[in-house]
Structure 1
Amino acid sequence: MAMMPVQGWVDGDFVVNLVPIDSDDAMDVVASKIAYHSVNRRVAAQHTPLRVRFKGHTLPLDATAASAGLEPMDYVEAFYEDQP
């Protein structure tokens, strides 16, 4: 378990935030931590799950930051998943 900062952006926002996450955080937790700084402030909340994209790939919800290969100061994107 190690704290590390990542650069987090929410789809639809114009601000990239420095967000502290834990290496053991699952991607749903990482998405929530990133969204905290944007959703209901500059981005409207939606009733669909938030997902995380890293280097162009959508990460599984059960992946941890460590298992996904996230390192300090990496850039990650949170976005609302489209419902089928």
Structure 2
Amino acid sequence: MPAAYEPIEPEELERLQTIFETARYIACMSRHDPAAERLAAMTIRFYQLGIRDDDALIHTIVKTNRALRPSGREQVADLA
């Protein structure tokens, strides 16, 4: 298993960019959404933790993002 803080090679970084963009698209998130930064951080962190399969990485990022996102009812309650 790779060490969590090994340097990310340029080829890997390009691949992670594509994975992030795919996850962001699936999550219907603008590049300018503040939560996009969290999505990018999750992309790198899950990769460092050893999830190297593209589909599994995208699935994990999107699933985790959904779990961390407040539900619609909580968002409406915050506006009240």
Q: Structure 2 length as normaliser, TM-score? A: 0.31
- Tell me which protein shows more strand as a share of its residues: 1
Asked which structure has the greater RCO (Cα within 8 Å, sep 6+), the reply is 1
Q: Which has the higher Rg, Structure 1 or Structure 2?
A: 2
